Amino acid sequence: MKKLSLLVLCVFVLSCAPVQAKTGDVVGHVYSSDIVAYIDDMPIPSYNIGGTTCVSENDLAKYGFELYWNADERVLLIGCGEKPTTAPAVTIEKETPGKIVGDIYETDIMTYIHILYDFIPIQSYNIGGETMIPLEELRQDSNTFYGYPNREIGYSNYGFKIVWDAKNRTIKVNTLRKGCSVTTKYGTYPIVDTCRFYDRGSDTIVLTDKDIEYSNLNEVFKSSSITPSWENNMLTLNDVTKKSLIFYGGGSHTDASFTLLPMIEVPVSINDNGVTKKFMIHLIVSDGKFYTNPEEWKPYLVS
């Protein structure tokens, strides 16, 4: 009797044990959504999976994202390339939410966001030969020794900002990449490049992956006894000579952060003794501060 009871118990336990889904098994559904998604102010088709807004990898490629597929390792890398000069021609209409429009299949594919030299694992879904990416996954931030130098401008260390508008049912993803712009306390400026920095523990120097030194612009003005003015996005300097503008330099680096920083282009006007020179300068934004390369100033400083 005891043997029979034990046998019945074993059969019951085995019948209740969860069955591991195999690659290719249907494990869920894709639903229509009334949420309109945007990538850098460009509308992109989106779907509802598990209560999150998802977009297709193939659609992301049309918005300047770069796809790298390794069939042997079953790995998909998604890089953030330049913003396209022309928005994809798509018509987005809000749909009645909750309608099943596809299936989700069990997959062995691993998906990563590739930013500079870092690889960030993210959740993804296989809908039958195509991978769907939850936009919320782009909200991830690196928690490193270097802090969060992009928070002042509203972005993560990986260069993403997500804005949810519950009233209008929209979700907007903004990126720090060439072709976009970023708003700072001095104005809104175009992004011409991105870089990472080497930390020297100083507020006066930032070293980028391009091995170029950048000085804290405010510290330069302070040490040079120069009062800058900012108006209509333009930086204006008066009574500036080659001898009066003092930059910092020197030092070495031993480690690098994986933080993506934007390089912006700023118009500058230098006035001295009736001589005015106008030009563009490239600045790196970190912790809301501007960092500058002294070499860029040399051709324009008044003698």
Q: What is the pLDDT of residue 10?
A: 46
Question: Which helix (H) or strand (E) is 290 found in, with range?
Answer: strand 289-292
Mean local confidence (pLDDT), 124-143? 86
Question: What is the band of 214 on the pLDDT scale with cuts at 50, 70, 90?
Answer: confident
Tell me the DSSP string of 31-100: E--SPEEEETTEEE--EEETTEEEEEHHHHHHTTEEEEEETTTTEEEEEE-PPPSS-------PPPTT-E
Stated pTM of the model? 0.84
4 has a pLDDT exceeding 90 = no
pLDDT of 198 over the 90 cut: no
- How confident is the model at residue 181, as a pLDDT? 97
Helix (H, G, I), strand (E, B) or coil at 256: coil
Least confident of 171-175, 212-216, 218-222: 212-216
Confidence of residue 12 (pLDDT cuts 50, 70, 90): very low
207, pLDDT greater than 80: no
Q: Are 169 and 35 in contact (CB under 8 A)?
A: yes
Q: How far apart are CA 127 and CA 105, in angstroms?
A: 6
Q: What is the mean pLDDT of residues 5-14?
A: 45
**Mean pLDDT for all residues in the chain:** 84
| pLDDT per residue as tens digits for the range 235-254 | 999 877 766 777 766 555 54
Reduced DSSP (H G I as helix, E B as strand, rest coil) percent helix, strand, coil of the chain, to 5? 15, 40, 45
Residues 39-87 have pLDDT tens digits of 999 999 999 999 999 999 999 999 999 999 999 999 999 999 999 999 9
Name which residue leads in pLDDT, 142 or 105.
105
pLDDT reported for residue 249 = 61
Stronger pLDDT, 244 or 186, i.e. the higher one: 186
